[in-house]
Amino acid sequence: MARVSDAEESSPRPFEAVVSAETAQTVVGLVGALVDECCLHLDDDGVRIPAVDPASVAMVDLELSDDAFEAYEAGGGRIGVDVDRLAAVVGMADRGQRVALALDPETRTLEIVIDELEYTLALIDPEAIRSPPDLSETAVDLTGEAVVDADVIDQALRAADMVANQIAFGIDADAKTFYVEAEGDTDDVSLALTADDLVDFTPGDAHSLFSLDYLNAINRAIADAPDIGLQLGTETPIEIGYEFADGAGAVEYVVSPRRAVEY
């Protein structure tokens, strides 16, 4: 998971891959939830996309193993892409179609082929794209974990969005409940789940407050997930993760907490 940083390694090397439209669309959707531009690390065992949102509040780290591809050949290096544009191109592919990708190092373009249609995407200089900090260097004390049905979180976020612009995620270790709370000027929203309601649960006292904007953006992107893993601490970032592409893909979001406003 070491980040590529020296200039030599960042120059593009051969890269050719074929992936299902569905997986390609999932990947650009998950990354596009937070950023407009990103770097694809073309490692020999798969693609990794670490990115941080412009306000440095939320990060995403996506890994797609070469097992997720029908064909995969990469020699390292990284390329910068416009995520919206890439999303629009792969979004045109119909269910069942495949997306073939080939890097042309000379013209610094990515050829995207969907059946007989060929789209030549101009790449962005990776040096011009902000890199996220290395999370492994940050000591974050995550005290509890809950694996939750994504539909339940979706409903809670939509309800919270009606009353407030921030939301608390927490665990009450004594009551053995995972909870979500939003307090509005007149109305409140709360969700409390015990182990019976959760796919998996490692209780440990936790309570942090987050901006709904970031959680909503992530929620929309992961709408198709069956269930999602949430790692929590007290006044720490939340880690939101799940696997896709039959386990060959994994995404992890990290969202920084808000300080509770005191009057």
Q: Which residues bind a copy of itself (CB under 8 A)?
A: 85, 88-89, 92, 94, 114-122, 151-152, 155-156, 158-159, 162, 186-193, 197
Element housing 241 (H / E)? strand 238-244
Q: How far is the CB of 92 from a copy of itself (least distance, A)?
A: 6
CB nearer to a copy of itself: pick between 16 and 183: 183
Nearer to a copy of itself, 92 or 217 (CB): 92
Least CB distance from residue 256 to a copy of itself, whole Å? 26
Bridge partners (DSSP) of residue 146 are: 201, 230
- Residue 109 or 256 with smaller CB distance to a copy of itself: 109
Helix (H) or strand (E) holding 26: helix 21-32
**CA geometry: angle 106, 110, 116, nearest 5 deg:** 120
Contacts of 14 (CB under 8 A, 6+ apart): 73, 74, 75, 103, 105
DSSP β-bridge partners for residue 231 = 145, 239
Residue number, 121 or 250, with CB nearest to a copy of itself: 121
Q: What's the number of CA atoms in the CB half-sphere (13 Å) around residue 199?
A: 14
Distance from chain centroid for Cα 206: 22
What tokens were used for 6?
Answer: 């020296």
Task: Give dist(CA 12, CA 17) in Å, integer.
Answer: 14
Residue 33 or 160: which CB sits closer to a copy of itself?
160
CB of residue 163 vs a copy of itself: minimum separation in angstroms? 8
| Residue number, 1 or 122, with CB nearest to a copy of itself | 122
Residue closer to a copy of itself, measured from CB, 158 or 220? 158
In whole angstroms, the minimum distance from the beta carbon of 195 to a copy of itself comes to 13
Least distance from a copy of itself to the Cβ atom of residue 135, Å: 31
CB of 185 to a copy of itself, least distance (A): 9
The token pair at 28 is: 């650009």
Burial class (CB in 10 A: 0-12, 13-18, 19+), 197: middle
| Rounded least distance, CB 156 to a copy of itself, Å | 6
Nearest approach in angstroms of CB 57 to a copy of itself is 26
Give the burial string for 115-124 (b: 16+ CB within 10 Å, else e).
eeeebebebb
Q: How far apart are CA 2 and CA 113, in angstroms?
A: 31
User: Which is nearer to a copy of itself, 57 or 230 (by Cβ)?
Assistant: 230
